[in-house]
Amino acid sequence: METLRTLEALEREGLIAAAADLAEAAASMAIALTPEMLALIDRDDPADPIARQFVPSAAETRVAADELDDPIGDAARSPVKGIVHRYPDRVLLKPIHVCPVYCRFCFRREKVGPGSEALSADELERALEYIAADKGIWEVILTGGDPLMLAARRLGALLDRLDAMAHVGVIRLHSRVPIVDPGRVTEALTGTLTGAALKRRRAALWLAVHCNHPRELGPATRGALARLADAGIPLLGQTVLLAGVNDDVDTLDALMRALVTARVKPYYLHHPDLVRGTGHFRVPIERGQALMKALRGRLSGLAQPTYVLDVPGGHGKVPVGPSYLSGYRGDDPDALLVEDAFGRQHRYPR
């Protein structure tokens, strides 16, 4: 079966009632649902958490006043097309805007999809020249779109160019591919990533995979992650906290455990951004903090992600997890009150 890309295809599969009813919602963003993700959907569950991520909803037509076209301020930090330079020592490089699936909560939902802007050869060259000229850039993050959708030859050439820049110490890729289209993770791809033809890469290469629900980590996906880990590629996990998908402690617990056992270190739990038409996915920050507090008592540090919020306007990510320290409320002004992972409070000297 091929990837589903139209409302009519979703209707044929019984995932929506009538294509005509969702024309307005679908117009705001491309549709793509891989066979691997389709197979995970429970057709008898109208609130299925896998379907909720990829199938258009009428709720997408409701846009709140505080929702934004560019919620994390990419445009304000883009000195050259394809580059976002938000922090002094790292840049985002967006060579492609195509993805294997299109998540309905995507913070770049209006910029990704077939026919959307990708970098031409000249534009990519200017982006690489920008990175080469700024010796303070230590880390380059390939995103988009999904960089693993690039042809292997083009991806390899891009990694080679970055690897040749002596000041670039880390190359990080952000991808959904190993999770939603694991068949793409071939020996040829792992060889491209590790630079097998060159015997080794100088810069450290990391791969961050996006996974939101434990059911996404089926046998094929675990196999793809194992191939990457066995090739020596360190893996990080990124998750978006989504109402109706993973906003309960049992689901997050199961997800983080599944990631760790697949040799993926949970990295970020993202608070959902202020994306137009995505209010039905957002949860209160207080809810996210409570969930993180509950995970602290259930999971080891290896399985704990950092709960982060991307400040609108291009000001970067900040941790917004719960605090465990407060002023001591007893008769000792020189002491602090610290809360342990199980909610008990203890005096601690300043």
Residues that are catalytic: 86-87, 90, 99, 103, 106, 108, 273, 310, 317
Other Cβ atoms closer than 10 A to 78: 18
Q: What does 129-164 look like in DSSP terms, one character per residue?
A: HHHHH-TT--EEEE-SS-GGGS-HHHHHHHHHHHHT
Burial level of 217, CB count in 10 A (0-12/13-18/19+)?
buried
The one-character DSSP state at 211 is -
Interatomic CA distance for residues 223 and 207, integer angstroms: 16
For residue 311, give the H/E element and its range.
none
Scan for tokens 């289209």, then name that residue: 181
Q: How far is CA 41 from CA 45, 276, 299, in A?
A: 8, 25, 27
**Residue at token pair 């939603």:** 180
* CA 144/CA 152 separation, integer angstroms: 16
* Of residues 213, 291, 290, the one with CA closest to residue 245: 213
Say which amino acid occupies 271.
H
Decide: helix, strand or coil at residue 346. Answer: strand
- Tell me the Cα Rg of the chain: 21
